[in-house]
Every structure is written in C-alpha cells, then in structure tokens.
Amino acid sequence: MSNPHKGRTGLDRIRRAAGYSWAGLRGAYQAESAFRQEFWLAVVLLPLGIWLGQSWVERALLLGSVMLVLVVELLNSAIEAVVDRVGFELHHLSGRAKDMGSAAVLLSLLTCGGIWAAALWQRLLA
C-alpha cells in the first residue's frame, strides 16, 4: 500500500511541508510551557548573540546553540506526544523514552549555557 502523501512534488510539497512545520511550531508553543519559555529566551538571546559574537564563527556558535535547544525541545515534545498517544499507563519503556528526551533537552541547555558563559567571559572579563 502506498502513502498518498508521498506523491507530492515541487512547490506543492514545499508549501504543504511549510504548513506542517508551522503547525508543529504553533502546537509546541501552545501546548508546551518549556517551549514557550525557551522561545522567549531565544527572542532575547539571538540578537544578543549577534552583538556578543566577535566573528562569524562565534555568532554561529551562540545562535546555533540557542536554536539547538529549541530543536531538541521540539523533538522531546514529539517523543512525549507519541508515548502519550500509545497510552497513559505506566510502562518502563515509556518512562525511559520520556526520560531520555528530557536528558537530551538538559544536555542541549548545558551546551548552550557553556558556550554563552565562555563567550561572556571572553567579551566582558578577559
């Protein structure tokens, strides 16, 4: 059996993919308080990263680390949605999937924080 959605090509595929992406961003913003908090943090940090970075590499690291947090949060939210779709009963594999998603968010936040701390240290104290 073939997937009827896989036959789309060209601009129609791009338009639909953009719509699905926008719906995913809107859904995450509406349903996930963590995503909303990280989104508004990104609104502040992205322009600050442009000012703070002294080269394109530094700016890329600062801005990329912030975007990484948002990407990982979206993936974590997707994992949680799929696990909840399967069922709400407690199961060790469901818990493991959710814990691993949460750990991924934590690691992305620590990475972002480390990059920003190093950049601030270099810019303001060195």
Q: Which residues are catalytic?
A: 73
53: alpha, beta or left, given left = phi > 0 and alpha = psi -120 to 50?
beta
The gap between the terminal CA atoms of the chain, to the nearest Å, is: 63
Task: Quote the tokens at residue 46.
Answer: 């992205």
**Which has the closest alpha carbon to 68: 34, 104, 43, 33?**
104
Euclidean distance between CA atoms 112 and 50, whole angstroms: 15
